[in-house]
Structure 1
Amino acid sequence: MSYSPERSLLAVILSLILTPALADDTQPALATTEPSTIRVLLVASLETTLSSQMAGTLGEFKAALGQTVAKDAVLARFDCAEAQARARVAAAELTMARQNLDAKRNLRKLDAVGDLEVSVANTEVQKADGARALAQAQSGYCVVQAPFAGRVAKVHAKPFQTVPAGTPLFDLVSDGALKVRLNVPSSLLPKLKKDQALEVEILETGKAYPAHVSAINARVDAVAQTVELEARLDAAHPELIAGMSGTARFPDNNE
């Protein structure tokens, strides 16, 4: 077959015309595809980092990694000889200020002092009482207690370590039913509602667990075009712990 420049030019023109058309035909199918499963993360209902409220040296250390603790359980104690001494000094100063006020009141009855001196003595009592309350509050920082029942997720400090105020000591996560966090495409927002059922499959256990939507974020992520949801498992499962991940499936979206 002989070479024809006209035929070759016609083939190039047809390829330029048809290629965008084929791409446009396939694009809508990709844009309308909705995922049937969504990535999820298990988180504790309550979690916090307990930090030191004072500068000092850690003494007694009762909490260990993974340990279950009750509400108000003592996790650690500081060496508080100095703080306790300040509290005793403040209590003694309050006693002395009250004695001085009583003496001034008795002298006032005899017209030996004026009203101003009695008023000043009364102010000194109030000042000393405030100093005593402050010293007692600072003494309370010597004991680190669990604000809720849970498990120790991380230990940041060591026994006998000297730390400044604000140093993280423990990460604590609560016991009980876990929360599920997930981000879903914003296109599903019209179909979502509170208490809507979903099924959560956890990778670490290979099992599926029923849950219900408990909260829907009031704002859509404009960049990712997703909306954040929170769900709660219908029951507590001992094998599940915070940090596990998996996928969620909404029954209405199943194929």
Structure 2
Amino acid sequence: MKRAAPAIALLLAWALPAQAQELRAQLSPRDFTTLAAEIGAKVERIGMREGERFRKGDILVAFDCSIQRAQLAEARAALSAAEKTVAVNARLLELQTIGKLENDVALAERDKARARDVAAGTVVGKCAIPAPFEGRVVEQKVRSQQFVQPGQALLDVLDDSMLELDFVVPSKWLVWLKPGHGFQVAIDETAKTYPVKLTRVGARIDPVSQSVKVTGTIGGHFPELSAGMSGKVLLAPPAGP
């Protein structure tokens, strides 16, 4: 009879997995991205360092664009000259001192100069990289005075104004666990609990583990929380009848 005790304990543990299991979760930022260079140029200034906060629109990286600005000035001068030629030719065409073909050629040259002006202005617009959202710098990948190539990664940034909680639950919980459901999470690093509201349910159930990923949002502003922290989800299925 004594040997049956471990078997009974194992059976009870198997019968209560949903209530007894510990749900681990990790905080993640709502938005995060890697900012990259769109032009080849020398880094003139890094606006924010690792860990520093920034506001949307703050200049995070500025490039030395002396050549690009000179090319823009040249394009604008050429456009100004082309527009003056068109204006003069329009008057001469009225006086029938030039032919229509000559006037059309001047119009085409003006359009080409205008296109060069727009292209040069677009390049100069890439000489500074503004923050796409409010947040913090995660990692600085380049240094001031370093020459970078188009597409080269510069900064990893994230928006931690609204932190999300990702974790996995048994798929059978979807009968009662719906977006909007409120619960709490105990974060290890702070030893505190925080309110959470479920926002999303994964689109696919894992057929092996019969589980699904869900996401909740921390309710309120808690400066002590950071992306990457983890903890225990205080959530259990409702008691049966």
Superposed pair shares fold, TM > 0.5: yes
CA distance in 2: counterparts of 1:210 and 1:48, whole angstroms: 27
Match of residue 39 from structure 2: 54
User: What whole-Å deviation, never above 9, does each CA across 1:118-157 have from its counterpart, x for those lacking one?
Assistant: 2222222222111111111100111121111111111111
Distance 1:84 1:77, change over 3 A: same
Map residues 64-79 of structure 1 onto 2, 5 A cutoff.
64-79=49-64
> Displacement of 1:225 after TM fit?
2.8
Map residues 188-207 of structure 1 onto 2, 5 A cutoff.
188-207=173-192
CA distance in 1: counterparts of 2:118 and 2:131, whole angstroms: 23
Gap runs ≥5 in structure 1: 1-22
For 1:33, which of 17, 23, 32 is the aligned residue?
Answer: 17
CA distance in 2: counterparts of 1:162 and 1:73, whole angstroms: 22
- The answer to whether the Cα contact below 8 Å between 2:160 and 2:226 also exists between their aligned partners in 1 is no
Distance 1:133 1:79, change over 3 A: same
Map residues 7-22 of structure 1 onto 2, 5 A cutoff.
none
Greater share of residues in helix: 1
For 1:130, which of 115, 126, 147 is the aligned residue?
Answer: 115
Match of residue 113 from structure 1: 98
- The answer to whether the Cα contact below 8 Å between 1:198 and 1:251 also exists between their aligned partners in 2 is no
TM-score, with structure 2 as normaliser: 0.88
CA distance in 1: counterparts of 2:209 and 2:104, whole angstroms: 67
TM-score, with structure 1 as normaliser: 0.83
CA distance in 2: counterparts of 1:55 and 1:222, whole angstroms: 48
Map residues 210-229 of structure 1 onto 2, 5 A cutoff.
210-229=195-214
Distance 1:254 1:167, change over 3 A: farther
Q: RMSD of the TM alignment (CA)?
A: 2.2
> Displacement of 1:37 after TM fit?
2.6
- The answer to whether the Cα contact below 8 Å between 1:178 and 1:236 also exists between their aligned partners in 2 is no
CA distance in 2: counterparts of 1:144 and 1:31, whole angstroms: 57
Distance 1:126 1:28, change over 3 A: farther
SS in 2 for 1:192: coil
User: What whole-Å deviation, never above 9, does each CA across 1:47-69 have from its counterpart, x for those lacking one?
Assistant: 11111111111112221111111
Identity of aligned residues (%): 31
Give the counterpart letter for 2:190 in structure 1: T
Q: Select the structure of larger CA radius of gyration.
A: 1
CA distance in 2: counterparts of 1:172 and 1:84, whole angstroms: 28
> Displacement of 1:28 after TM fit?
9.7
Give the counterpart letter for 1:79 in structure 2: D
Distance 1:225 1:120, change over 3 A: farther
CA distance in 1: counterparts of 2:45 and 2:25, whole angstroms: 39
Give the counterpart letter for 1:152 in structure 2: V
